[in-house]
Structure 1
Amino acid sequence: MKVRSPSMVEMHAFLAVCRVKSFKGAAEQLCVTQAAVSKAVQRLEEHLGGVRLFDRNSAGVVLTERGVELSKLIQRPVLALESAFESFGNALQSRPVRISVIPTLGIQWFLPRLQQLRQIHPDVNIEMRQFRHDEDFTRDDVDFWIEVKRPYRKWPDHVDTRYLLGRELVPVCTPELKKRFRKPKDLHSATLLGHTNFPDNWARWFDAAGVPFTPRLGPSFDLTMNLIVAAKSGMGVAVVPACLVQLELIKGELVKPFDTEVSCGRGYFLCRHKDAPPFDAGDRFADWLIQQSAEDHFHVPN
């Protein structure tokens, strides 16, 4: 269909002159130059076949007969469009931020920080959505995902990702168990708790500690949360992302038997659709989350 209407810029310029009876006053209202208003009105007149919309005199400008007719025809539709876009924009800005967070990171790191987000941005509302282990990032009920980078798959092309934290693995155990270990090789005699999805975590750590690894793991778990609980109960020694045991280390429920850290090459990432329209609450949430992850470095003594 051929577009017959002029641009919104030209119609806004015309209506502004109608309101204030002055090109200069219209320019001030629209925050543009007087020349820009004049050119916009001229383009509108040319678009309408050379019809004259205003007569100019010493007192200012007055609408011609055709100008009055055009003003009556477009004033309400243009205002309705403005109102519609304003309402749409307000709804987009105020809608909640819908996120899906991998469970252990959600419990151990994300949720304890939400009150800080509320204090900084009280108008940013968070809605937690169900996490799916087989996530393909095609859901339309989620704005952001916080997911772990898995070694056996690539991020989909339609998703933007940003690394947050969680690559550093550390060994942890109860203070009582720690008394048994003087050197990293002493862990050979310990019950080493394993992660079923990442069975090479201990091999990585022993390699970083310069100790040969004998692949002999004890009980293994499919969630890091379960590893942490098992370690707190005294079941054995776990190697986990440092960011997930901050509170336990601070409280003394867990300790690091050795300072050696190792990168697992994975970590947690902030993900969103590349073509997702930006909205204010979402942008502020993402900025806050990235800042939180950047500041997430502290030292807990052994």
Structure 2
Amino acid sequence: MRIRRYLPNLSLLLAFDGVMRHGSVTAAAQEMGLTQSTVSRLVQTLEEQMGQPLFSRHRRRLIPTEAATRYHADISAALDLIQRGGMSLIANPEGGSINLAVLPTFGTRWLAPRLPGFMTRHPGIMVNLTTRFQPVSFSDEPFDAAIIYHQGETAPDDSLLLFGESLTACASSAFLAANPITQPGDMAGLVLLYLQTRPGAWADWFHGQGAQAVPSGGMVMDQFSMMIQAAISGLGVALLPDYLARQEIAEGHLLPVLQQAVPGRGAYRLVWPRTRAESRPLIHFRDWLAAEVS
């Protein structure tokens, strides 16, 4: 049985959410197509129903309390989930959907080009993608699964190995013409491009070349897409997952440096919460991914 006191009318929650997001009754009213007085009244009604002051009033401004900030975190997640459910029902009433969190570059460069094949095979299932850098909390976020980069020795129980990451160093033709590299020692003093989440990747690459890492400068970036553009512009040598490097090399944007596809430490995995393990759309997506990487 659901207790109605703790389930306010949706209009009350939307007014509260709008004021919290915009920090302004006026902006929330404009977004909702209501008057300021109506939004203020809705917020006041919510406070009365919950028996808690959510804002302090100061010169016609609403200042959220700490309790309001905590409450909004839960309400915002719940509204997102309701919205996703409605979108899925309207867009795909028969086949269900998968809400997938995915690493940005992996999603755009590896997964997205392959998704039409999944849609052709399973036309009733919609895949909703959200890019994420940080780990996903399935208990707090409305995701059915996530594609992650995993470096631990023990694999998550509810997961599917896609492939291990191998590393290929790349640079522009102009950069290599100015800085010829025929052995690892030639990279001393050159600018090496690092990914924020792979601080040890260059050490692994040098080890794979049978050499010690050499003293050099470095630039740290948070996305492979940014690193690729930096390398194309001649800023330095990029260290890329081989699935990205192959594409850039094939398209003539970058050239490989020394031995290609050196084994790295991590792997890409599909992970999911145990509560979603028997979801029919997820099972189909999992089986399709397994076939793709095989």
Same fold (TM over 0.5): yes
Q: For residue 247 of structure 2, what is the aligned residue in structure 1?
A: 247
Using the aligned pairs only, state the percent identity: 25
Q: 1:112 to 1:217 in 2, by over 3 A?
A: farther
- AA aligned opposite 1:229: Q
Q: 1:246 to 1:114 in 2, by over 3 A?
A: farther
Q: Secondary structure of the residue that 1:278 maps to in structure 2?
A: coil
Within the alignment, does 1:217 sit opposite 2:230 as a pair?
A: no
Within the alignment, does 1:95 sit opposite 2:96 as a pair?
A: yes
Q: What pairs with 1:189-228 in structure 2 (closer than 5 Å)?
A: 189-228=189-228
Q: What pairs with 1:1-302 in structure 2 (closer than 5 Å)?
A: 94-131=95-132, 133-139=134-140, 141-151=142-152, 160-179=158-177, 180-294=180-294
Q: Secondary structure of the residue that 2:226 maps to in structure 1?
A: helix
Q: 1:138 to 1:130 in 2, by over 3 A?
A: farther
Matched-pair contact (CA < 8 Å) for 1:147–1:271: yes
Matched-pair contact (CA < 8 Å) for 1:193–1:236: yes
Q: Which deviates further from its counterpart, 102-111 or 274-283? A: 274-283
Between structure 1 and structure 2, the one with the greater Rg is: 1
Q: Structure 1 length normalisation: TM-score?
A: 0.60
Shift, 1:154, TM fit: 6.8
User: What CA distance in whole angstroms lies between the structure 1 residues aligned with 2:210 and 2:277?
Assistant: 49
Matched-pair contact (CA < 8 Å) for 1:181–1:187: yes
Matched-pair contact (CA < 8 Å) for 1:167–1:266: yes
Matched-pair contact (CA < 8 Å) for 1:163–1:270: yes
User: What CA distance in whole angstroms lies between the structure 2 residues aligned with 1:100 and 1:114?
Assistant: 14
Shift, 1:92, TM fit: 10
Matched-pair contact (CA < 8 Å) for 2:224–2:240: yes
Shift, 1:198, TM fit: 1.8
Q: 1:286 to 1:102 in 2, by over 3 A?
A: same
User: What CA distance in whole angstroms lies between the structure 1 residues aligned with 2:164 and 2:174?
Assistant: 26
Q: Structure 2 length normalisation: TM-score?
A: 0.61
Matched-pair contact (CA < 8 Å) for 2:136–2:146: no
Matched-pair contact (CA < 8 Å) for 2:99–2:144: yes
The RMSD of aligned alpha carbons is: 2.5
User: What CA distance in whole angstroms lies between the structure 2 residues aligned with 1:225 and 1:267?
Assistant: 19
- AA aligned opposite 1:217: G
- AA aligned opposite 2:112: L
Matched-pair contact (CA < 8 Å) for 2:103–2:131: no
User: What CA distance in whole angstroms lies between the structure 2 residues aligned with 1:229 and 1:176?
Assistant: 14
Q: Unpaired segments of 5 or more residues in structure 1?
A: 1-90, 295-302
Q: 1:166 to 1:249 in 2, by over 3 A?
A: farther
Matched-pair contact (CA < 8 Å) for 2:189–2:217: no
Q: 1:193 to 1:277 in 2, by over 3 A?
A: closer
Q: Which runs of 4+ in 1 moved over 6 A?
A: 153-156
User: What CA distance in whole angstroms lies between the structure 1 residues aligned with 2:186 and 2:133?
Assistant: 38
Q: For residue 43 of structure 2, what is the aligned residue in structure 1?
A: none
User: What CA distance in whole angstroms lies between the structure 1 residues aligned with 2:131 and 2:256?
Assistant: 32
Shift, 1:138, TM fit: 2.2
Matched-pair contact (CA < 8 Å) for 1:173–1:236: yes
Shift, 1:264, TM fit: 2.0
User: What CA distance in whole angstroms lies between the structure 2 residues aligned with 1:95 and 1:250?
Assistant: 37
User: What CA distance in whole angstroms lies between the structure 1 residues aligned with 2:267 and 2:155?
Assistant: 13
Q: Secondary structure of the residue that 2:132 maps to in structure 1?
A: coil
Q: 1:232 to 1:116 in 2, by over 3 A?
A: farther
